[in-house]
Amino acid sequence: MSTNRVLLDSNLWLDLASDPRLTPVLTAIDELVREGEVELLVPQLVLDEFARNRDRVVEQMQRSLSSHLKHVRDAVTQLVEDEARPETLAHLDDLQLRIATRGSVARPIVETVERLMATTPPILASDSVKVSAVERAIQKQAPFHRSKNSTVDALLVEIFAEAARADTRDATQHYFVTRNTRDFSLHDGDNRLPHADLARIFAPDDCHYSTSTAEVVRLIAPDLLAEFEHEFAYHPQPRELAELLDAEHLLYKQVWYNRHCNLRIRVERGDIKVVHRDLDSEPATYSPDVILRDVWDIALNAARATETELGPDRLGPWSDFEWGMLNGKLSALRWVLGDDWDMLDT
């Protein structure tokens, strides 16, 4: 039987711990580890990141469940017949208490994740891994191709590469799984493929790059995940209005900022002139290739405020595919919130 060694990025472990919809995936991984079909590669860096976020994950899941229960309680109060209402509300109150006092759903999931991560000795970054990561930084190779500190990301991928090289067993397959496509995936192309700077790591036939934990499970055991998906079948819950509004605000800011940057380039090239307001002229007389100084100053101040609010990691630049996704998400959210389709004004 072939062995499959899997390294999950920190964010994927946090996803498994915080999203009940991923319970089938987590259960499938647990089964594969117990059956010896999967060995987990768990860097100490990943363990540390998970430990830092553990309590936040539990708290967020409890808040989410409490919010859903409140909506259910409101619906029961309005829709359930009088004779059945007290008993139904009593069950909901009991569930609410369990969540508040014990984290009855969140904690078992988090504990399962921690148990899985403990099935293998943590991997420390060796001196050679650290040197390789530094060389990537010097050469500005992925994941250092963006203006951010990517040291941990570089160490993770080099730990994976070293572990794969050191494994001399026949028929062993190695999987590096991440959803951090901006640092690890092909730039301006199919983000399911590794960045060109990482191509050598995934060139061997036994080394695989993936952006989906579920897809890796399906590759290793094609039918297993479907069984657990059926067992844990769920009905998706609508997101709260506040969550929709927060997402719409973020996308609005991102789209506006990108358009502002394009305008700034045209101003710097001289395609658009910045002029002082002519008090004797009507606004309609200004041509499209000029912008008023006071209007431009307001735009520059708004851009600085947006940079402070969102931070550089959420302001691009984006590939054509990513740019299309941003606009599509903004259009869809605005439609849900009451606008017409394709409403992309900023």
Predicted pLDDT at 176:
98
> For residues 345 and 332, what is the distance between their CA atoms, to the nearest angstrom?
13
Please give the pLDDT value at position 219: 93
In a domain, 342, yes or no: no
pLDDT at 337 (0 to 100): 85
Residues 169 and 42 in one domain: yes
125 and 254 inside one domain: no
Whether 226 and 292 map to the same domain: the answer is no
In a domain, 47, yes or no: yes
Say if residue 98 is in the same domain as residue 224: yes
Give pLDDT tens digits for 52-103: 998 887 777 767 666 767 777 777 777 777 777 787 777 777 766 666 655 5
280-293 average pLDDT score: 69
Q: Quick one: 253 and 318 in the same domain?
A: yes
Q: Which of 162, 196, 231 is the last residue of a domain?
A: 231
Give the pLDDT confidence of 200-239 residue by residue, as tens digits.
999 999 999 999 999 999 999 988 887 776 555 555 556 7
Average pLDDT over the chain reads: 86
Residue 120 lies in a domain: yes
Residue 344 forms part of a structural domain: no
**pLDDT per position as a tens digit, 19-35:** 878 888 999 999 999 99
Q: How large is the average pLDDT for residues 145-171?
A: 92
- Residue 29's pLDDT is 96
Give the confidence band of 315 by pLDDT, cuts at 50, 70, 90: confident
88 touches 80 (CB < 8 A): yes
- The confidence score (pLDDT) of residue 100 equals 62
Kindly state whether residues 329 and 255 are assigned to the same domain: yes
Is 90 exceeded by the pLDDT of residue 171?
A: no
Q: How confident is the model at residue 270 (pLDDT cuts 50, 70, 90)?
A: confident
In angstroms, the first-to-last Cα distance of the chain is: 57
Does 236 reside within a domain? no
pLDDT at 290: 86
Report the range out of 17-31, 45-59, 118-132, 248-262 with the highest average pLDDT.
Answer: 118-132
Q: Domain span at residue 57?
A: 4-231
Same domain, 227 and 281: no
The per-residue pLDDT for 236 is 56
Q: Are residues 33 and 171 in the same domain?
A: yes
At 288-305, the pLDDT tens digits run 788 888 888 899 999 999
343 located within any domain: no
Q: Kindly state whether residues 190 and 255 are assigned to the same domain.
A: no
Residue 153 has pLDDT above 80, yes or no: yes
What is the spatial distance between Cα 334 and Cα 252, in angstroms, rounded to a whole number?
10
Considering the domain architecture, whether residues 245 and 224 belong to the same structural domain is answered as no
Per-residue CA distances from 189 to 182, 193, 319, 322 (Å): 11, 8, 8, 10
- Does residue 308 sit in the same domain as residue 215? no
Judge whether 31 and 224 are in contact, CB under 8 Å. yes
Residue reference for tokens 């996803």: 15
In a domain, 175, yes or no: yes
How high is the pLDDT of residue 6?
Answer: 98
What pTM did the predictor assign? 0.65
Cβ-contact 155, 188 below 8 angstroms: no
DSSP 262-328: HHHHHHHHTSSEEE---TTS-GGGS-TTEEEHHHHHHHHHHHHHHHHHH-GGGS----HHHHHHHHH
Last residue of a domain, one of 231, 253, 274: 231
Predicted confidence (pLDDT) at residue 250 exceeds the cutoff of 80: yes
- What is the total count of domains within the chain? 2
Judge whether 16 lies within some domain.
yes
Q: Are residues 225 and 174 in the same domain?
A: yes
Of the candidates 185, 210, 231, which is a domain's last residue?
231
